[in-house]
Amino acid sequence: MDTFSPQIAADQDYASAQSITLNEQERQIFTEYAQLKKVCANDYLVSEGDGDTCFYLLVTGNLVKEQSGKAKMLGMYQQLEEGELIGLLSFFTEEKHLNSILARSDSEVAIVTREIYDSLLSEQPLLWKKLQSIGLHMMRKHRLSIHLDKLFGPFGVMLPFVLTDIENELEWVTLPSGQTLFRQGDVPDGAYILVAGRLQMTTKLLDGREVVNDAILAGETIGETALLTNQPQAHTVYAVRDSELVKLSNYSFELMLQRNTRAIHNIAQILGKRLTNLPVEKGTTKAPVRCISLLPANDSIQLSNFAEQLCSTLSEYGSTKHLSSDIVNSELATEDIAQSHENEATSLRLVEWLHSQEDDCQFLLYQSDQKWSEWSARCVRQTDQVIVVAEANSEPNLASLAPHLCGERQRWSLVLLHDFDTDRPRNTAAWLKSASPDAIYHVRKEHAADLARLTRILSGNAISLVLGGGGARGFAHLGVIKAMEELNIPIDMVGGTSMGAPIAGIVAQGATADEVMQRAKQAYHKIIDFTFPLVSLIAGKRISQTIREQTLGWDIEDYWLPFFCVSTNLTTALPVIHQRGDSWLAIRSSVSIPGVLPPVPHGDHLLVDGGVLNNLPVDIMREINPFGVIIAVDVAPPVGPKAKSDYGTEISGWYLLIQRLFPWLKAPSVPSLGSTIMQAMVAGSALKRQQIIEQKQADLYLNIHVKGVGMLQFDAQAKATKIGYKGSFDRLKAHFKSSDKSDEKSEISQEE
């Protein structure tokens, strides 16, 4: 994403005197198309507050504009020149006239109706474009006057003169969504007023994280802090909606402050508000999703039905409005206004209207046209999240859309629609050959649960589950999953490390709690195949075979639920986040406890258990699910093994073996090999664990002490499951305040 270039984005020509008046030849063409009308002396051509569907050109005579408010009481008028356009602002905005127009002498005007204006587009395109330029200039100047009065005023009757003084110092900037206005550390060269649109301010912290501050709305200033302090910009500011700004030079900004004593007070309030704005909760690098756009992957996909369904489910989380080009044209009562190009008067009106809809609704759902159009491009620019919708069984091809979805800050996802009775997604990887979405979601048509899951994710209400490592203690996760199902708490996305990875993988395949428990019971009761410990305690053949059987040959992108697991690259000493590709390789790598299981070769690298660096990857899930609920399940022992007796610095394994064979022999009490390896492995991620607790990174942190179950005690599944169930049910119930089935615990809780 490039910082905007004034040579490209600034509209200097619109502010020039030549561009906002008609020349003699243009006036002549104008009068040939328009209808002529006589206005007698002392009659009003238009009155303040009137509505109109036409505008006028003063041909001959003497017309004056009566100023409104206090200026009118003082008898202040503005003389209109022959050839001047009247009512063009009201014509484009369809708002009431802001002033009255009085004839001081008999005069003649040319009337341009909507029909005549539309005919100019095809018959006199240059004149039509000129009218657009003039209208845009008028709209900008009017909007600016409103904002100047709020920011620096009120200037009262002096405002027109102030505008005249600084007009040549102003620089109008059109900033498309996704482009950057300035970056943190840039040298300030002026202040900006946001006339229309929406900007986002971010701050890069000392630790390298970029956190999101509150949005900047129309009528607010940007960059004034650096200008006043003569310091580099403290923030990066970029457009999240198509935006119109006016740049105030140092001179014009200082003039504003000098002309009105209240200006300094107003600016101080703005600065105070901005300084107190904290980054959004949890320090996320993403802004909340307010506007979502739907794009068809190809001509065969029909968006209307899906858009209506999604709009209905979104409305459960706040007021929602569905916008298509037809809906926009209808509501604004203007043909093809949705297809307005940038730097047209109608485009500014459209931007302002869309902004007002955003103020009125919690969510806006934009529906693109079937074929790429100006409205389709605006849908992409105007929204926080772009959703490309495709039929799962259609020919995978996103090449035509890819160029429109490559913005640095543009988030986009792929939704694949499946038939209702689809047992599992297949061949999702083929869709990724021509484009790389940030996320992939699988939705079965008319499947309420799938649509509800997608809606929770898009609206920022997703419930995600993070399962930590702990060897056989990880079977406690099964009890948590059972408790969530009984309490009707959905799982929308899931991730895990070590033993948490295979269990999370079964959940992500769409299995119910009972299915997860049954598959785990069948798979993991006999996976220990000890070997001579040259590389590891366990050969790994059984567990490799088990994971292959459990993953069913699925790629991660084929899972019904978004899924990730974590391994550690032993070669680079860096964590690896698995979100694509072979699920078997990912999960097998994630469970490879160093010293217990052999490392997994991956090219020139060796992958081992993710718990070495991140045994409870809440931070990864927070990036994926920045605003939803995160449930973190920690089954690692709270403390490591303790020395129960002083056995010195040397110990004989053979002696311990004999002692086990002959228990009446006295032998030193020593920690088990498994507990030692486990605690040594997770020691590296102990700091992350502490941060999760202290910083409350998870919305619900379940620290389940699986007492009496060893790391390699895989025959204790039933015991660990019961502990997980009992240790989570009441806390889950309290957190979600669920009533469904919450008074009846299943048989799993009846511990013997």
> What is the set of active-site residues?
498, 609
Alpha-carbon distance 591 to 609, whole Å?
A: 5
**Whole-angstrom Cα distance, residue 489 to residue 631?**
11
- Can you list the alpha helix ranges (DSSP code H) found in 293-344? 303-314, 325-331
3-state class of 293 per DSSP? strand
φ/ψ of 3, rounded to 5, equals -65, 145
Q: In this structure, what token pair is assigned to residue 627?
A: 């605003």
Phi then psi for residue 411, to 5 deg, are: -100, 130
Pick left, alpha or beta for residue 595 (phi over 0 → left; psi -120 to 50 → alpha; otherwise beta): left
Token pair of 58 as six digits: 């003063």
Inter-axis angle of helices 345-360 and 125-152, nearest 10? 40
CA distance 425 to 501: 20
Torsion angle, alpha carbons of 602, 605, 606, 611, to 10: -100
Please name which of 537, 565, 538, 539 lies closest in space to residue 551, comparing C-alpha atoms.
565
Going edge to edge, which strands form the sheet with 100-103? 44-46, 100-103, 63-66, 77-79
Cα–Cα distance measured from residue 680 to residue 557, given in angstroms and rounded to the nearest whole number: 33
Question: What is the secondary structure of 22-68 as a DSSP string?
Answer: --HHHHHHHHHHSEEEEE-TT-EEE-TT---SEEEEEEES-EEEEPP
Beta strands 210-217 and 363-367, pairing class = unpaired
Query: Residue 201 forms beta bridges with which residues?
Result: 237
Distance CA(504)–CA(515), nearest Å, equals 13
Identify residue 741 by its one-letter amino acid code: K
CA 135 to chain centroid? 34
CA–CA distance, 238 with 215 (Å, rounded to integer): 10
Tokens of 629: 């609920």
- Give the helix/strand (H/E) hosting 443: strand 439-444
DSSP-assigned beta bridge partners for residue 103: 63
φ and ψ at residue 143, rounded to 5 degrees = -65, -40
Distance CA 597, CA 59 (A): 91
Nearest one of 596, 569, 560, 567 to 584, comparing CA atoms? 567
What does the DSSP 8-state code read for residue 315? G
Q: Using CA atoms, how far apart are residues 552 and 83, in angstroms rounded to an integer?
A: 77
How far apart CA 339 and CA 376 sit, in angstroms, is: 9
Is 223 in contact with 232 (CB distance < 8 Å)?
A: no
Q: Give CA–CA dist 231/186, Å, rounded.
A: 9
| Beta strands 629-634 and 700-703, pairing class | parallel
Give the residue among 496, 552, 494, 497 at the shortest CA–CA distance from 523. Answer: 552
DSSP state, 236?
E
b/e per residue 546-569 (b: at least 16 CB within 10 A): bbeebbeebbbbbbbbbbbbbbbb
SS percent in the chain: helix, strand, coil, step 5: 40, 20, 35
